[in-house]
Structure 1
Amino acid sequence: MAEAVDSGKLGGMFRALRSRNYRLFFMGQGISLIGTWMQQIAISWLVYRLTDSVFLLGAVTFANQIPSFLLGPFAGVLADKFNRHHVLLVTQFLSMLQAGTLAILVLTGTVQVWHVLTLMVVLGTINAFDVATRQAFVVQLVGKREDISNAIALNSSMFNMARLVGPSIAGLLIAWVGEGVCILINAVSYIAVLASLLSLRLEPFVKEVRQDNVWNSLRNGFSYAFGFPPIRTLILIVGLISLFGMPFSVMLPVFARDILQGGANTLGYLMGASGLGALSGALFLAQRKSVIGLGKVIVFTMSLFGTALMAFSFSTILWLSLVLMLFTGFGMIVTMASCNTLLQTLVDDDKRGRVMSLYATAFMGMAPLGSMLAGAVAEQVGVAYTLLGCGLLCAVSVIPFAWNLKRLRLMVQPIYERLGIVPEIASGLRAASKLTAPPGKR
């Protein structure tokens, strides 16, 4: 009996993989993401090796992610107007060309920092359209609507499994054959995701007969997202954790080499520990059967993320730093994925691309601003004090959300009752409303 229960729980944790299209997409993306993380580690190590500058580490991240801040909302309009499948085929192919170009420059020994900065801007521009489209596209791949939250959690699991594997491999390869091979592997890995996209069986795309122009669509998307406090709050949380928290990954090469007295393999261990914690967090979300209680989860995990960052800033011992990275990764990914899940369950289908582009803008667009700011502050006061401040700001930022959580729950209750996104949510809320209603209304 116990084995049957365990099997049922395991099957429930991976239930979105029952959809053929999602299963193919999941496998292709998983392979490609390992290459993506290998490239990210290789670029960070390359830039720090060439320049010894924390500021330029921040500048590379800024160059990679600022296009998402500038172009993200327009990308959402594109995701709602055009065939998302075709958009993803184009963005993945262009990403493969970008990685191949950078690999050639590094392997031939001709790479300079301005090459890296320029190609990061190119990649960031591609990602601005890719991320928003991919977030909205996932919903089309899942056979049952109640499996959407599980698919989002599995996406996070896939992302963080790659984050665990990719940096570990990259750390060894950099020490053995250099950064160029890692970037080349990333370029080749795009073949897997392109093959999976070409293998999907999708319903024919039907373009809307009447469509607003780009500016009207953009304005309507903003009004819809920021006019409803629960959606606005979730996007704001993602923006704050990206602004104050994400810069920690930019400073990890400095901690690995200068504070922990290690090399590229140490950086790989730190990133791998963070990835392991994040993978644990994603699997924690995958086994959940409803979105009820995610508000409290966000309060806890965002506080955990900030506290772990503050503790990490004081650590000079590798094993302790690795443990703290586990908590950092767990807190970060559960907060981000929980916000993603709640947004996906709240938004209307015809505005999904625009809302998820705002999520992507907050997630990827605020990070470069934080990275540049953190890099500049670190040059003046040191990385330890900078990271301490980042952790404190993350922990404090969740207080207003915790204070207003009850009011926000009341606002989303009618949406869950109307849509019945997950059956037990709707029935549970109806039962609760009967208990709280006046005697004559029951």
Structure 2
Amino acid sequence: MAVPNFRMFAAGQLVSVAGTWMMVVAQDWLVLSMTGDSPGALGVVTALQFAPLLLLTLYAGGLADRHDKRRLLVAANTVSGVLAGALAALVLTGHVQLWHVYLFALALGSVNAVEVPARMSFVSELVGPRLLPNASALSAAYFNLARVGGPAVAGLMVGWWGTGPVMLVNAVSYVGTVVGLLLIQPAALHRAQRRPGAARVADGIRHVRQRRDLMLPMALVAVIGMVGFNFHLTLPLLAKTVLDTDAAAFGLLTTALAVGSLAAALVTTARRGRPTLRHVLAAALLFGLLEALAGLMPGYGAALVTLAGVGFASVYFAQAANHHIQLGTDPAYRGRIMALYTLVFQGTTPVGALLTAVICEVYGVRWAMVAAGAVCAAAAAACQVADRRIGTSLDRPTPTREDSPVTPAEESGADRSAADH
């Protein structure tokens, strides 16, 4: 927080993320209200929102390495604000239909696919490699601080005025992000001396494949992202169909998850180095066990307490995996590697959302959560066995040079294949 550019960035993000979490509550409640509490409809919205991450994120990582990240972020947040405002207008005027929600979920997800890898790799430009673990943890802290207040306020607003005003607040909140980005001083950024002329996707994938210490955590992130992080779908269903609560109580369930997440983010601000792979695996195992336990909680109060624990474990795992991967990556590849991280963590969500929706339809949301937690715990255990067999725990030194050399292939962009795109 002593870095002026990071303060500007964090202030803008705090405003926007609070609006985004308010939007999540309003959108989920709107869809359930329009469809008679249909898990399938909610699963489709979630899938459409995250599908672009699966299709576009790797290309977006190349854009982040090749172009000015700050300008990319300004453009992406401006477009997101316009789209959010258009959806809010449809809801406020009473003309919204379910296909409108589907369309805007897809459009916002497409913009998000460009914004996420640029934002994640931009943090290192704001503070430099030495402060990256602290800055990354603080980013998670303000994200979850907004996640604490946003859903609680949104739940009350939905109960008082409906979903339209909440969506309008979200649209306006993007102004905070754009203003914060425009106030950043480019001269103080920690940028590489040269950007690759052709930041090829295949080069980033090859970099990960050659690094066994990155492959296992990437695989684990893919499984947990697909199976375990489906709270957009499971929490509203748990609130409405199992606990029989109103919008305000649903907002508090999301807030409980966020309180635990915020606590984990604050704990990880003390991290100064790259966590070991075994540290990542232990966090994943804890998350899986707690999510399965949350699915078995008998009442609202017990669910609140357990979800706080799930929130803590989820962010602690995500931060450990992020730091292990990002701090083990050559800065010249960071945009593409973080795009790959985003792809396997969030891009797999459409598959997981649809699968979770089916399980919820057939067996109920409780058993969907139990199954998800069990799969995550089993994946962590399997990675631990694989780690012992192939010896991936020998952590590589953390790259510290921001001016890492660019390969001739990256400069020329020659010999591209279809896989590069």
What TM-score do you get using the length of structure 2 for normalisation? 0.90
Say whether residues 1:263 and 2:249 are aligned partners: no
Partner of 1:62: 47
1:210–1:58 distance in 2 versus 1, CA, 3 Å: closer
Shift of 1:344: 1.7
Structure 1 stretches lacking a partner, 5+ long:
1-16, 422-442
Shift of 1:210: 6.5
Shift of 1:202: 1.0
Tell me the amino acid that sits aligned with residue 318 of structure 1.
Y
Tell me the amino acid that sits aligned with residue 397 of structure 1.
A
My pick for the range that moved more, 46-55 or 296-305, is 296-305
Partner of 1:151: 135
Q: Retained in 2: the 8 A contact 1:259–1:316?
A: no
Partner of 1:382: 364
Shift of 1:211: 2.1
Partner of 2:160: 176
Say whether residues 1:403 and 2:388 are aligned partners: no
Partner of 1:193: 177
Partner of 1:432: none
Deviations 1:338-393 (A, max 9, x none): 11111221111111110000011112101121001110221122212222111110
Partner of 1:277: 260
Say whether residues 1:133 and 2:118 are aligned partners: yes
Q: How does 1:103-252 map to 2 (within 5 A)?
A: 103-142=88-127, 144-203=128-187, 208=194, 211-212=197-198, 217-252=200-235
SS state at 1:322 partner = helix
Shift of 1:397: 0.6
Identical amino acids, percent of aligned pairs: 31
Tell me the amino acid that sits aligned with residue 375 of structure 2.
L
What TM-score do you get using the length of structure 1 for normalisation? 0.86
Q: Retained in 1: the 8 A contact 2:61–2:118?
A: yes
Moved over 6 A (4+): 204-207
**Partners in 2 of 1:408 and 1:201 — Cα distance?**
40
Partner of 1:436: none
Q: How many residues align?
A: 397
Q: Retained in 2: the 8 A contact 1:243–1:370?
A: yes
My pick for the range that moved more, 380-389 or 129-138, is 380-389
**Partners in 1 of 2:69 and 2:10 — Cα distance?**
16
Partner of 2:410: none
Deviations 1:66-104 (A, max 9, x none): 100111100011111111111111000001001101100
**Partners in 2 of 1:388 and 1:209 — Cα distance?**
46
Partner of 1:254: 237
1:209–1:21 distance in 2 versus 1, CA, 3 Å: closer
**Partners in 1 of 2:185 and 2:400 — Cα distance?**
27
Shift of 1:405: 4.4
Q: Retained in 2: the 8 A contact 1:299–1:401?
A: yes
SS state at 2:298 partner = coil
Partner of 2:339: 357
Partner of 1:332: 314
Shift of 1:300: 2.6
1:75–1:354 distance in 2 versus 1, CA, 3 Å: same
**Partners in 1 of 2:7 and 2:145 — Cα distance?**
16
**Partners in 1 of 2:159 and 2:303 — Cα distance?**
21
**Partners in 1 of 2:230 and 2:145 — Cα distance?**
21
Shift of 1:227: 2.5
Partner of 1:97: 82
**Partners in 2 of 1:300 and 1:235 — Cα distance?**
15
1:209–1:401 distance in 2 versus 1, CA, 3 Å: closer
**Partners in 1 of 2:130 and 2:43 — Cα distance?**
40
Partner of 1:41: 25
Deviations 1:294-322 (A, max 9, x none): 43432232222211221221223111000
Q: Retained in 2: the 8 A contact 1:82–1:207?
A: no
Deviations 1:186-206 (A, max 9, x none): 111111111110101013988
My pick for the range that moved more, 64-73 or 249-258, is 249-258
CA RMSD of aligned residues (A): 1.9
SS state at 1:145 partner = coil
Say whether residues 1:22 and 2:2 are aligned partners: no
1:308–1:209 distance in 2 versus 1, CA, 3 Å: closer
**Partners in 1 of 2:30 and 2:195 — Cα distance?**
50
Structure 2 stretches lacking a partner, 5+ long:
403-421
Deviations 1:384-411 (A, max 9, x none): 222211111011110132234462232x
1:317–1:206 distance in 2 versus 1, CA, 3 Å: closer
Tell me the amino acid that sits aligned with residue 140 of structure 1.
E
Q: Retained in 2: the 8 A contact 1:245–1:306?
A: yes
Tell me the amino acid that sits aligned with residue 355 of structure 1.
I
Deviations 1:6-50 (A, max 9, x none): xxxxxxxxxxx1111011101110111000000011000100111
Say whether residues 1:342 and 2:327 are aligned partners: no
Tell me the amino acid that sits aligned with residue 168 of structure 2.
L
Tell me the amino acid that sits aligned with residue 275 of structure 1.
A
Tell me the amino acid that sits aligned with residue 197 of structure 2.
Q
Q: Retained in 1: the 8 A contact 2:228–2:373?
A: yes
SS state at 2:70 partner = helix
**Partners in 1 of 2:225 and 2:21 — Cα distance?**
18
SS state at 1:109 partner = coil
Q: Retained in 1: the 8 A contact 2:226–2:346?
A: no
**Partners in 2 of 1:207 and 1:41 — Cα distance?**
43
Q: Retained in 2: the 8 A contact 1:304–1:327?
A: no
**Partners in 1 of 2:215 and 2:293 — Cα distance?**
30
SS state at 1:346 partner = coil
SS state at 2:273 partner = coil
